[in-house]
Amino acid sequence: MESVGETLHRFLILLVVAIPIALTVSLAGGWFLAGRALRPVDEITLAAQRIAAGDLSQRLSMTAAHDEIGRLAATFNNMIGRLDASFRQIRQFTSDASHELRTPLTVMKGETDLILRRSRPMEDYKSVLESNLEEIDRMTRIVDELLFLSRADTGEVKIEALPVALQALVEDVHRQATLLGHDRNIEVMLGTVMPVVVQGDDLRLRELLLNLVENAIKYSHPGGKVEITLLKDRREARLSVTDHGIGIAPGDHQKIFQRFFRTDMARTHTKKGTGLGLAICAWIADLHNGRVEVQSDLGQGSIFTVVLPLVHPSA
Ligand SMILES: Nc1ncnc2c1ncn2[C@@H]1O[C@H](COP(=O)(O)OP(=O)(O)OP(=O)(O)O)[C@@H](O)[C@H]1O
Ligand SMILES: [Mg+2]
């Protein structure tokens, strides 16, 4: 019993010494490891604070780790990237919109100032008023289009979801376009037109097609030809407008759908236009679960194709 008691006693002393040491070591180790593991979280917090203060160029320096923190940092960077892009876009949009509206206002003010300086014959007043009316029309159009786009952004634009016979719509727009092309001696032709029914809003789809045909006429050379075709395959309707006009460089194919973007070629070709038409087209196509595709090369002409899902895709 004596030797057992002594062993127990030694064991007790060992425990009293070893437990605090083990505890201290594990506490220190835990503290160190937790600190290391949580440092990236701290970095994220600091970056979030800097971003909240308005600096959207901040990114987290990422380790290539594929752990939870690595994924969090990647998601965070991704989100900030998208926010940065959309803020940039809004700023650009506001400055473009103000610029577009300022130009007609400057013209109107200049002309009105000039004519009021002294008394003039009646015809002069009339011609200034006519020119002002043109500028007012232009501004009204810009404001209407902006209103449509901003309502579309906030989801306020409601569209019908009724069967639309595209064939009839194409024929109507063709008639309108023939008149439009007449002034510039541009022939608008109908190519293959298949009977196709899609689900959607007749008026909006008309607007979409008319915008594309207007562009094709506007960016054609006098005497040129524009062709409208309507094809379908098993799942989609493909409505194309082809022209042989000034064309678009491949680098600009995505940009032309941005609000107010106009290519330099287009600006030299004609003063008319604000660069909102295609943004509206893209919206209308999107509201119909479709898209607008473009094939074009500088100086070669363009093909714009509206792709819309069919109501009852044939098997
Ligand atoms: N058929 C085309 N051929 C060549 N360039 C085109 C064609 N259609 C569009 N573009 C280019 O895309 C740009 C944007 O077209 P969009 O229809 O949005 O604007 P716009 O025609 O200039 O003005 P508007 O708002 O009056 O339609 C044009 O300015 C032009 O540079
Ligand atoms: Mg246009």
CA of 246, closest atom in ligand 1: 4
- On whether both 14 and 135 belong to a single domain, the answer is no
Domain assignment present for residue 86? The answer is: no
- On whether both 303 and 168 belong to a single domain, the answer is yes
Domain assignment present for residue 263? The answer is: yes
Alpha carbon 162 to chain centroid, angstroms: 26
How large is the average pLDDT for residues 160-189? 93
What does the H/E/C string look like for 264-315?
HHHHHHCCCCCCCHHHHHHHHHHHCCCEEEEEEECCCEEEEEEEEEECCCCC
- On whether both 148 and 167 belong to a single domain, the answer is no
- Of 105, 136, 153, the residue that ends a domain is 153
- On whether both 11 and 144 belong to a single domain, the answer is no
- Of 49, 79, 109, the residue that ends a domain is 79
Alpha carbon 239 to chain centroid, angstroms: 21
Q: How confident is the model at residue 68 (pLDDT cuts 50, 70, 90)?
A: confident
Exposed/middle/buried for 72, CB within 10 Å: 0-12, 13-18, 19+? middle
- On whether both 168 and 132 belong to a single domain, the answer is no
Domain assignment present for residue 89? The answer is: no
**Cα separation of 247 and 229, whole Å?**
19
Domain assignment present for residue 109? The answer is: yes
Q: Report the separation in Å between the CA atom of 104 and the middle of ligand 1, taken as the mean of its atom positions.
A: 19
Domain assignment present for residue 84? The answer is: no
The ligand whose atoms approach the alpha carbon of 279 most closely is: 1
What is the CB neighbour count within 10 angstroms for residue 255?
A: 14
Provide the percentage of residues in the chain whose pLDDT is more than 70: 97
Whole-structure pTM value: 0.76
Cβ–ligand 1 distance for 237 under 6 Å, the answer no
Domain assignment present for residue 18? The answer is: yes
What is the CB neighbour count within 10 angstroms for residue 4?
A: 8
Alpha carbon 45 to chain centroid, angstroms: 31
Q: Across all residues in the chain, what is the average pLDDT?
A: 90
CATH number at residue 138: 1.10.287.130
- Of 50, 79, 108, the residue that ends a domain is 79
Helix (H, G, I), strand (E, B) or coil at 135: helix
- On whether both 239 and 281 belong to a single domain, the answer is yes
Domain assignment present for residue 314? The answer is: no
The ligand whose atoms approach the alpha carbon of 247 most closely is: 1
Q: Domain tally for the chain?
A: 3
Predicted pLDDT of residue 95? 86
What are the backbone dihedrals phi and psi of residue 59, each rounded to the nearest 5 degrees, phi first?
Answer: -135, 155
- On whether both 34 and 167 belong to a single domain, the answer is no
**Cα separation of 86 and 268, whole Å?**
29
Q: Nearest CA to 240 among 295, 201, 284, 289? A: 295
How large is the average pLDDT for residues 198-206? 93
pLDDT in tens, 265-303: 899 998 888 899 999 999 999 999 999 999 999 999 999
Residue 147 domain boundaries: 94-153
Predicted pLDDT of residue 315? 46
Q: Report the separation in Å between the CA atom of 133 and the middle of ligand 1, taken as the mean of its atom positions.
A: 24
Q: Nearest CA to 169 among 134, 130, 140, 196? A: 196
- On whether both 211 and 266 belong to a single domain, the answer is yes
Domain assignment present for residue 85? The answer is: no
